Amino acid sequence: MFNTSANNFNKTPSLFPPSKPFVAAGINEPKIVHLYINNNSPRLGAQNPSIGAPFTTRKLYADSAVTRARQARHGLNVKAVADKEHDQFIVAKAVVSVKLTVGGLLTNVGIASGLDDIITDLLGKTLLLELVSAEAQPNTRSERSTVNGYAHRSTIEDGLVKYVANFVIPSYFGEVGAILVENEHHKEMHIIDILLDGLPFDSLQFTCNSWVQPKFDNPQKRVFFTTKSYLPSQTPSGLKRLREKELETLRGDGTRERKSSERIYDYDTYNDLGDPDKDPQLARLILGGSKELPYPRRCRTGRPRTKTDPSSESRSTSVYVPRDEQFSELKQSQFGFKTAHSILHAIILSLETTITDPEQGFPYFTAIDSLFHEGINCPGLKERGLLQDMLPRLIRTVTDLGDNVLRFELPMMFDRDRFSWFRDEEFARQTLAGLNPFSIKCLTEQEWPIMSKLDPNIYGPPESALTTKLIESQIKGSMTVKQALKEKRLFIIDYHDVFMLYVNKVREIEGTTLYGSRTLFIFDDESLRPLAIELTRPPMDGKPQWKQAFVPGTCATSCWLWKLAKAHALAHDSCYHQLISHWLRTHCCTEPYIIAANRQLSVMHPIYRLLHPHFRYTMEINALARLALINAGGIIESSFSPKKYALEMSSIIYGLEWRFDREALPADLISRGMAVEEPSAPHGLNLTIEDYPYASDGLELWSILKQWVTDYVNHYYSDPSLVESDEELQAWWTEIRTVGHGDKKDETWWPNLKTPQDLIHIITTIIWVTSGHHAAVNFGQYAYAGYFPNRPTITRTKMPIEDPTEDEWNHFHKKPVETLLQCYPSQIQATRVMAILDVLSVHSPKEEYLGEKLEPAWKEEPNIKAAFEKFNGRLKELEGIIDERNANEDLKNRNGVGIMPYELLKPFSSPGVTAMGVPNSISI
């Protein structure tokens, strides 16, 4: 048998107090731990280990010798000593790494909360740790008793406070499968990891990265599992109950208002966008939970209902998200939307002192240019905090003025060619290589002539103004519309039907207008060229429907009408980009995946560990968006054409257009006619337009992602039947479909989840949305839209040819430039949007890029580690592929005089506004 001393265990009270024989907190371990070996054990066979021989077994057995161990770390040596009488024990040490908060050590460990915490820390009782055996009792199948140890503060290294606990572990304990943590202080602690050392087989790493609340606030002990992943059916017997109990904790009971310290994931509708108690004009309809306004679900906060509207939830200055979903203190202090919101609020207050008329537009184009050169003097801005430290790109000190000045960096495209935004070629190019390459579709013969799907009795005659005769007059050469359609040369961006539903409503609001629009392009073998823009207004105020198609001009009047029509089309595209391509399809639709994963997939589940890096910070940024970006009166409503109907419109589009099966990039391209299936082609597709930068780079990235997911899934689901029998996985996918996206639960297009191939496709789609798709629509925002005439977010006046008064027509004739500037956003709208786009386009210094970080759990499996290294290598290769494409002069959409290279899907980036880099997750 083994023992920890040459003397009988009970004869060493100074080392092992009888009252707590397995608690070794505060002891000074000997440098040598002698483990006595029973030479008569039948398991030894002919072996007779000598004293000091290293162990070679993985487990400790009560009736045998340990035949394998290792030299322990931190100076703890293990020797084998023969004994016939005594029990077996081993002394192990846990090192807990606790992260310092921005406020420093005292704030972190809770000393600021009083003498009680000081005494607790000095006595070595900061944390109570309990080791949990992975295996249950062999006979009763009940869980083994835990082994306890108190941790005491030891050292401070690299911003981490180290706490040490010692354990005396009985030989029969078996492998450690989990560790329970109880915080003895009165303040939460952020535990990074726990290293358990001195075990016979190897050290154990517990990756925590979590806040642990004081036991006085939450008496339930926190459980952390080892980094080894298990499918539910493969869970060691001693961990099954803990696995289930932890999921029950995360689900909560659906009651009460959530506290900021809690870790509960639950669902609710978007019933907190309005603020009717503050102002009846801020009341908003509830999105989600009805056929009329379907929507994905958000995280439930449980705040009280408003007094004015019992169906709406009241608002507060902060929005609950589960504690571990909140930004790290470092990320929050360095960068974040909350910081941006505070800064923008200060900027807007300062601007209001300078610009007394909120509707004041720019008097001339040089006034727009001055935003990047001279800036705007904002009296009092300097006194509103350390703004220049938080947003150094925007806030500059100008000594001549003696105050802070709001001055913008030159956007990349404006820096390369200040007149590019004015050209039709650039207008067309950006539909394939710009900020919203998701809307363009290839027209088919069946779709021509374009007919409205709306009720003609309500919206007037359905015939389009885009007639065959009109289009053929714009096509160069003798090609007919029929030929162009057959050869797949006609393309369209169609915002007619859904926008038409809101034209009359929006036009009741001062300072904005709206049309239903269609923009038609032709492909001439090298590039797209715009052919026509159709704008339609339904009957209103006793007037019949108004519609007109505008084409590139041949005289002064038609040229200026064309420029104004482009401004309206661009504003529509900006709205669709921000509300649908960006907010809805990435941020909003991803939140149910995250909630369901935490409710149904254990942290030990390999699929949870695969997805978790792609979910970091998304719920926090979504909560902040509801606080200040998409809320009633927020930045979107104040600066985009639909105004208070913006989110309601996104709900209608979600109901009509969103399908999970088309969120996969190949399926999306095929559904828009931008690609056709071709098994022999790279990625199994032929692009309708080969020089389509978003699609060509995106397909490379999609293929790399899919291979990584394939390698990962096939490792854990080597038997295909394991997918369908995995109850956690099936519950996750069911909850996404029936609850998180419950308004679409009856759709037939939801993929099945029965085979590894099904799982690979579903997971690849989710990761693509959170990484490649989001990067493509987010990190180029300032580069493409920072100079707002290139992409105005709102058009404030109607076309001068739509039912004009005599004064309106005369003004257009005499001052067309002024007419265009009046149509553009006001000064406050423009500067507000420019500032927020600058913030949203920034990569933080701590950005986690796709394929860059090997997660601790992935190191456990050599096959997964090798697959990840291959994944990382292919992403680095993609960088070179994209650079090579951007240098190719034959690719006109990404190379040419003054042209911005397309780099939005380059995997890696330095910090700042770079218009490249694909982070793991939607973190801004």
User: Which residues have a catalytic role annotated?
Assistant: 582, 587, 774, 778, 924
For residue 39, which of 1, 79, 92, 91 has the smallest C-alpha distance? 1
For residue 701, which of 874, 857, 919, 886 has the smallest C-alpha distance? 874
Q: Where does residue 402 rank: exposed (0-12), middle (13-18), buried (19+ CB within 10 A)? A: exposed
Q: Cβ neighbours of residue 807 under 8 Å, at least 6 residues apart?
A: none
Amino acid at site 732: W
Instruction: For residue 791, give both structure tokens.
Output: 């992409």
Which strand (E) or helix (H) includes residue 591? helix 589-600
Residue 155 to residue 98: CA distance in whole angstroms: 11
SS3 of residue 190 by DSSP:
strand
Residue with tokens 């926008």: 499
Residue 264 to residue 324: CA distance in whole angstroms: 10
For 184-233, strand residue ranges (E) read 189-197, 204-212, 222-225
Instruction: For residue 686, give both structure tokens.
Output: 């032929």
Cβ(850)–Cβ(918) under 8 Å? yes
Instruction: For residue 14, give both structure tokens.
Output: 């100074």
CB atoms within 10 A of CB 628: 20
Q: Where does residue 543 rank: exposed (0-12), middle (13-18), buried (19+ CB within 10 A)? A: exposed
**SS3 readout for 861-878:** CHHHHHHHHHHHHHHHHH
Q: How big, in percent rounded to 5, are the helix, strand and coil portions of the chain? A: 40, 15, 45
Q: Report DSSP letters for 368-428, one per residue.
A: HHHHHHT-EE-TTGGGGSSHHHH-TTTEEEETTTTEEEE-PPPPHHHHH-TTGGGSHHHHH
Residue 868 to residue 859: CA distance in whole angstroms: 9
**Helices 240-251 and 589-600: angle between axes, nearest 10 degrees:** 140
Name the pairing type of β-strands 176-183 and 127-133: antiparallel
Distance of CA 314 to the CA centre of its chain: 26
| Preceding omega of 449 cis (within 30 degrees of 0) | yes
Residue 688 to residue 676: CA distance in whole angstroms: 7
Instruction: For residue 139, give both structure tokens.
Output: 């006979």
CB atoms within 10 A of CB 428: 23
Cβ(522)–Cβ(503) under 8 Å? no
Instruction: For residue 515, give both structure tokens.
Output: 């049309």
Distance of CA 917 to the CA centre of its chain: 14
Instruction: For residue 100, give both structure tokens.
Output: 């310092």
Instruction: For residue 867, give both structure tokens.
Output: 């697959």
Instruction: For residue 281, give both structure tokens.
Output: 């004009």
Instruction: For residue 556, give both structure tokens.
Output: 């002064």
Cβ(691)–Cβ(432) under 8 Å? yes
Q: Cβ neighbours of residue 326 under 8 Å, at least 6 residues apart?
A: 332, 620
Which strand (E) or helix (H) includes residue 676? strand 675-677
Distances in whole angstroms, Cα of residue 698 to Cα of each of 705, 775, 906: 10, 11, 10
Q: Cβ neighbours of residue 402 under 8 Å, at least 6 residues apart?
A: none
